[in-house]
Chains A and B, each alone.
Chain A
């Protein structure tokens, strides 16, 4: 005679078992995304785009590796009315084969992609670069524009005054607190752990009323509200993925930071080897040139664009040159001259060298030696954790705004 047990009476015993494994899996997913950030972010055009853009992230390191068969796929299927030649599937998607021991459910293959908001990836990038938590708030987008200057924050307000930036920070803070609480709860209170885990598992992480922050309104108007940023890239050298990632991170932060200070910000990407031309963001990070370098061509192109499109009377000018430092020696003088001219009419100009090995070139030093202005900076970046401090110091040299 069969026996029956009603486990709903003692629910908490059974349910805590999977909570630990789910939390661990979630942690690994986050780490996987972080590991792939350089790859993901260098592939996507992020600098000019809205933070609500969604990005598909393939999750590689939580694949369960084992020996399996690959392409081409063939096998036996089942379904009435199929004729030779009918298409029943495609090889496109990133799927993982179901394991032999998994149940006979219909969906054998698993799609291994997570869809994430760009803002969440940006936040992971900042975590990756070691930005102090409170500094990150400067970089989150303000979607809403208004004539009034905002001063301070309140917890109540109307929609148009919603400060997404501050609200996002509140949300992040709450998320961090929840994550800490989860760790504790997993050890002491399985019921609670389950509840917290469910809250965290709603991805993208939702806003709550209490997160929202609104601006207090006063009547000041933003003056001088246009900025143009010239990212200039020496594409003659080889930029590996890590260098591209660091360059992109630096430029991204610059863009977002400048955006908090000006009503309207534009970017004009310039790529050069021995010649310079204006390009798209994607090309900026992916082009490679002929091998020879005339550094002067970069700033000269910027000057040309300033003359024709971005007069300094109307535009605040920012420029950042990224290179690995090599230059034809007969171009050194022209390069110094070009930068001198650019510096005269800009708020801030940077010469950034990203190098993984020891040898810094001397052209950077030469140019800095010749241009004494404070708002021209030589920036040397060797690894991830230098990006933020170098950036911060760089922004402090802005002729217009000091931190």
Chain B
């Protein structure tokens, strides 16, 4: 296996060419692909910012770096072999320390991702790949300028970013859905339903926390604060498609790296080594409480390719994880992949149900529930002029899962940072189901039963 440790950039280029030829012959297209060669330290640095070359500074990225570095140091994770971003041209990162077989596998995998970024509706509707880098660069520059501005400074910028980061998850879950201002909504409602009461504010329950508060906060927000809110909201919009298609995307890239490798002219040693890496990537996870998107995705795509090959590309173009699982995750596949549900019993977390005739549909539903943005509670702004005092009334759409109390109360403080008036959040609990309210008025946190 000695000859596999030494390779030149030229060799990598040659392999990339072969991979591209084969990918093209399979009908894949992609944004022009660029590869950057780094070492593992640089990789840690790049990973902390999700691969984006010039992200704005924030301590949370330092924390992400530390965490990844610790996991890596203790052998608890391989650094992801591949890091490729949704840009045009697309940029992917290869680690210098990796041996040739892994580099070949990685490159094949990268083209699968690139093809997905280019063709899946979530990305097409929700992002502009050719503008992304410039957006991040310009955003970072402005935020740095606020930090350097003596009348603002690091602490104030950090406080604003901390709050914005907490709330960025609350926006439309459909990529490409533009934030609609109240004026536009009013015009529309006036035209379509003339009888409706227009004094309700917001006119319809509002999903987008940051942009709504930016535009309507009773607190006098400075321009730099509004800019930060916009930057954070739009940055999250950029990543949303990736969150919503994690299983599909990793599965697609794995499916195609597998097919490409099978077709590539490889020496027996190379083929063996690559097969070994491949099997490590697509297999049940070490931690049984998680699911492996590479494994789950590739199994489903292979299922589609066997049973309904004509739908393959269509499924890639039009789906997101929820529809993908709903349509193509069969009972058979579920049993094969060993899915199960778990629940809490006292201090222990135990297996609840496995895949059987009478349980698999419930299991599947649970899995779909947790996919994509499933871990983010659905909370809307119902009233922005509550009590006729510009208080903010939020409602959590309770689906059987309780909000975590400490996190909820701390996050309400962040909402208050932007809004400046009392904040109410209506929710319920698993045990009692009767609605109750969290309230934060700027000083005190309270909790009480809703009348």
Contact = CB atoms under 8 A, between A and B. Distances in A.
Interface residues of A, number: 63
B339 A78 contact: yes
B375 A71 contact: no
A15 B47 CA distance: 12
A72 B250 contact: no
Contacts of A84: 340, 350-354
Nearest to A100: B243
B411 A82 contact: no
B44 to A, nearest CB: 8
B16 interface: yes
B351 A85 contact: yes
A18 B65 contact: yes
Interface stretch (B125-133, B366-374, B441-449): B366-374
Nearest to A17: B45
Contacts of A110: 67
Contacts of A72: 343-344, 430
Contacts of B218: none
B37 A66 contact: no
Nearest to B375: A100
Given A70-B405, A90-B347, A76 B169 contact: no
A106 B349 contact: no
B123 to A, nearest CB: 15
B425 to A, nearest CB: 9
B183 interface: no
Tell which of A8, A23, A79, A89 has the most Cβ of chain B within 10 Å. Answer: A79
Given A78-B285, A100-B243, A69 B63 contact: no
A11 interface: yes
Nearest to A5: B36
A77 B77 contact: no
Interface residues of B, number: 103
Interface in B224-272: 236, 239, 242-243, 246, 250
B65 A76 contact: no
Contacts of B403: 67-70
A180 interface: no
B402 interface: yes
A66 B169 contact: yes
A14 B42 CA distance: 7
B260 to A, nearest CB: 14
Interface stretch (A24-32, A121-129, A249-257, A372-380): A24-32
B134 interface: no
Interface of A: 1-8, 11, 14-15, 17-18, 20-26, 28, 62-92, 97, 100-108, 110
Interface of B: 9, 12-13, 16-17, 20, 32-39, 41-42, 44-50, 54, 57-67, 71, 76-77, 80, 96, 107, 165-167, 169-170, 236, 239, 242-243, 246, 250, 284-296, 337-344, 347-354, 363, 366-367, 370, 372-373, 375-377, 379, 396, 401-405, 407-408, 410-411, 414, 430
Given A14-B42, A18-B45, A78-B292, 11 more contacts: A2-B33, A7-B38, A8-B38, A69-B404, A75-B370, A76-B340, A76-B341, A77-B290, A78-B291, A82-B340, A86-B350
